[in-house]
Amino acid sequence: MGQPIIVGIIVILFLATGVLLSIKGEEKKSIIIANIHDEKLKKDYEKLEKKGSAVHDRYN
């Protein structure tokens, strides 16, 4: 009789964990998008690209 209750509690815990991980993922995604659209970061990256930075050269 108690087994379905335990299974229900476990399912609810898994769902809650999924929701929390989804929220954290969305926060990280929005931070990354905000950084990509930041004009100062774009200008800094363009300067590094013109100089031929070590990171840029290593991956090309």
pLDDT confidence of 13, banded at 50, 70, 90?
very high
What span, in angstroms and rounded, lies between the C-alpha atoms of 47 and 17?
A: 42
Range 28-52 average pLDDT: 74
For residue 55, the model assigns a pLDDT of 54
Decide: pTM greater than 0.85.
no
The fraction of the chain above a pLDDT of 90, given in percent, is: 32
Instruction: Name the average pLDDT for the chain.
Output: 78
**Nearest by Cα to 47 from 36, 56, 38:** 56
Could you give the 3-state DSSP secondary structure of residue 1? Answer: coil
Query: What domain range includes position 12?
Result: 3-59
Total number of domains in the chain: 1
Whether 19 has a pLDDT exceeding 80, the answer reads yes
